[in-house]
Homo-oligomer: A and B are copies of this chain.
Amino acid sequence: MTLVSALRAVVGDDGLLVRDEELYAYEADGLTLHRGLPAAVVLPRDKTDVQRLVRVCRAHGVPFVPRGAGTGLSGGATAIEGGVVIELQRMDRIVRVDAQDRLAVVQPGVVNADLSKAVAPLGLFYAPDPSSQQACTIGGNVAENSGGPHTLKYGTTTDHVLGLELVLPDGTLVRMGSDVGAATGYDLVGAVVGSEGTLGIVTEATVRLTPIPESVATMLGIFDGVVDACRAVGAVIGGGLVPAALEIIDQRTINAVEDSRYAAGLPRDAGAILIVEVDGAAGSVAAQVERIRGFAEAAGAREFRVAGDDDERARFWRARKGAFGAMGRLAPDLYVHDAVVPRKKLPEILAAVCEIGDRHRLKLSNVFHAGDGNLHPNISFDRRDADERVRVIAAGEEILRTCVEAGGVITGEHGVGTEKRDYMRLLFSEDDLGAMIRLRHAFDPERVCNPGKIFPATRFCVESDPKARGYDEVPLS
């Protein structure tokens, strides 16, 4: 039986895409710089389908790539070495909600924001909120350990996953973790969350739900420059406050947002805008707002607004979360970086990042999770322009080197994927990488599950056990 017939036998005609015009939609994820055309895309309906698909791929010697909504920004869902994309959007059921124990059991294709909507009547929400939350799925969030603006207080996906059901790369179905949150034995849930789809395919996740806070206040601080805004962030954190979010958008982003359908009436001449959100009991929120106003004004805020109602709050957030969409207007492609640096070094690193962008003649803007030190330098470009593409890559490498030299790391919430795999050695020795490769090899010795991600693509440090099979550098188209 051919690969395609064997896949069709599992998912039927309506669960199989093989025509070129269908496959082009799967050629990349949110990272349009790296591309790979799959041989087929399959849409399983349940865990048994996933197990059977994995076994079909193995029998035919082709790799497989799990994919959610394809909103990832590091190439994690791209079939960079070809093979079969296993798209999980049809597995989109909320299986069970337990309001008293505050958990939900969901299939991987449940859209992030839909889960919060579904449990809102119970006074609960799902805390991790990537900017793509209207589209991205829980399965993809688990693979990438997605964060979001509220990471500062609530943590990333890993802090909200209690248990997982996973189809291993050899087709075995295993469960890990528990409803009560404690890991007995090894914390495999911790190892799988953020493993970028390389250790297996999640078919069910048990996630923590969080009580909707009694009161929320959202504030905008408007600054002449980004250094002042960073100083306000330092003061808020140094003052012992833990806001739900502490975000900064820079002037170029402000203008892109104001030009777009996300326009929020932001002052176009501001150097930076700080968005602060605090939540909790009503009295505590009011007191925090006044302290934050003080910190912002002391740091030189020329204006400080507190959202008067939910509509205004939502408008502030639409501006922030729509920033990536708005920047999509600046050029056909967008390359979103994702470094994390020590918070105290934010001002100097931001200045360096802007200088790098200017020197390479690129449209570079910054939206970032300032409270976490998680930078998102965004480069708007046209990938059809070969010269610009070279400059985008050169600037990206300089940015990452700058962040690592300052004590930072190369990804905070988007993953390594294909994007940053060749920069892993900036952070890790061969022995450090070797420890990760041991884990990879333990779960996928034949390197069939989402190959080409995380690990450097050179013969000196191979993703799989070097003794197990040879490995050559994979050219990125």
Contacts and interface: CB of A to CB of B under 8 A. Distances in A.
B442 A174 contact: no
B179 A411 contact: no
Contacts of A412: 180, 182
Interface string A273-315: 0000000110110011000000000000000000000000000
A176 interface: yes
B281 A429 contact: no
Contacts of A190: 158, 187, 190-191, 193
A252 interface: no
B101 A431 contact: no
Given A173-B431, A185-B436, A186-B436, 8 more contacts: A101-B344, A174-B432, A180-B409, A186-B191, A190-B190, A190-B193, A283-B287, A284-B284
Contacts of A434: 172, 174
Nearest to A343: B101
Contacts of A281: 284, 287-288
Contacts of A186: 191, 194-195, 436, 439-440, 454
What is the oligomeric copy number?
A: 2
A211 interface: yes
Contacts of A283: 283-284, 287
- For the side of the interface on A, what is the size category? 35 or more
A179 B372 CA distance: 12
Contacts of A435: 166, 168, 172, 174, 176, 188, 443
Interface in A406-435: 407-413, 416, 424, 427-429, 431-435
A185 B416 contact: yes
Nearest to A123: B240
A410 B178 CA distance: 11
Contact of A439 (B341, B408, B442): B442
A38 interface: no
B428 A172 contact: no
A123 B237 CA distance: 13
Contacts of A158: 187, 190
A175 interface: yes
